[in-house]
Chain A
Amino acid sequence: MRFGIVVFPGSNCDHDAYHAAKHVLGQEAELLWHKDRDLKGSDCIILPGGFAHGDYLRTGAIARFSPIMQSVKEFAAAGGPVLGICNGFQVLLEAGFLPGAMLRNRSVRFQCEHVFVRVEQTDTPFTLACTRGQVLKIPIAHGEGNYFAAPGVIEQLERERRVIFRYVNASAEAVESANPNGSIAAIGGICNEERNVVALMPHPERACELALGSSDGLVIFESVIQAIRSGRCAATLRHAQGRPEPSRGASPPAAALVQ
């Protein structure tokens, strides 16, 4: 399958995501410049970490106006899987793909450390290879990861099981001391109503090789590879992108599996 990784001016984890997709997972990967509109036949879009447009004004506030975001919006509306990582999460919030906003960390510091997140739900393209309650050790690196939304919105997210990752300790307990940034309800990642747009503050792409301290992030990418291979997302996508029928590589024809 093919990962499309959006590059904003100031993205700095685009190549980490590219490396994870291409060299660790052996998939195709394309970097997509933010001023272009062509998603180059991507099966999955990643909005990577970094400091898009220098994070000026607010994190993600300017990136949402980039031309490629219109294509990403159409891709997501057609059911395509979109993953926002860190700054990518902030962009998805500002662009209205997901509810809420990010405040400055409770510590008022940029925090760069390994944290534990618990996988709360497995019915998204990015967590379907996880087990519910699985704890992943993944690094964070952010100054504005303090997730905020109005109480009614938090209630709705919980009710609709849209909190996908929660900060916990190594024993999977959501205790206050395990919440690195002050996020409401220890929220580390959420999804949209249709569940195909998922975003999280921790960096799974930086936790794909043991040499980097953890390979727990792999399962996020393996999930979406499995989702695409099983045709969960592909049929709608091909339709949306006007792509010809034959799929690449060893992937089975998606339409057959969908029906």
Chain B
Amino acid sequence: MKARVYVTLKPSVFDPQGKTITDALQSIGYAGVEDVRQGKYFELELATTTPEATRSMAADIADKLLANPVIESYRVEVV
């Protein structure tokens, strides 16, 4: 089955890239852009057969490798 994992910086962590993108958008005329936070997106193809097992394996993978819990949090979607 497929799972999607979204990794984002925790709200308390400064995102220098997001800030740069915000500034760039404002400079090209998007005055209404107040903030941008950049994250990572992963598509996992897993040899699982149930949504529960898929979610649990994706979460395990995110915990172990995809996200660094010091600065990031993640969200799993089972497709």
Contacts and interface: CB of A to CB of B under 8 A. Distances in A.
Interface of A: 57-58, 61-62, 93-94, 99-101, 103-108, 146, 148-150, 182
Contact of B16 (A61, A93, A103): A103
Contacts of B71: 101, 103, 148
A17 to B, nearest CB: 26
A61 B66 CA distance: 8
A104 B65 contact: no
A99 B68 CA distance: 12
Chain A interface SS verdict (over half): loop
20 contacts: A57-B66, A58-B68, A61-B65, A61-B68, A62-B65, A93-B70, A101-B70, A103-B14, A103-B15, A103-B71, A104-B15, A104-B17, A106-B16, A108-B16, A108-B19, A108-B20, A148-B13, A148-B70, A148-B71, A182-B16
Interface of B: 12-17, 19-20, 65-66, 68, 70-71
A94 B20 contact: no
Nearest to B71: A101
Nearest to B40: A57
Contacts of B14: 103, 106, 146, 148, 182
A56 B16 CA distance: 18
Contacts of A105: 16
A149 B20 CA distance: 22
A146 B17 CA distance: 12
B68 A94 contact: yes
Nearest to A149: B70
Which of A93, A99, A150, A182 neighbours the largest number of chain B CB atoms within 10 Å of its CB?
A: A150
Nearest to A58: B68
Contacts of A148: 13-14, 70-71
B71 to A, nearest CB: 5
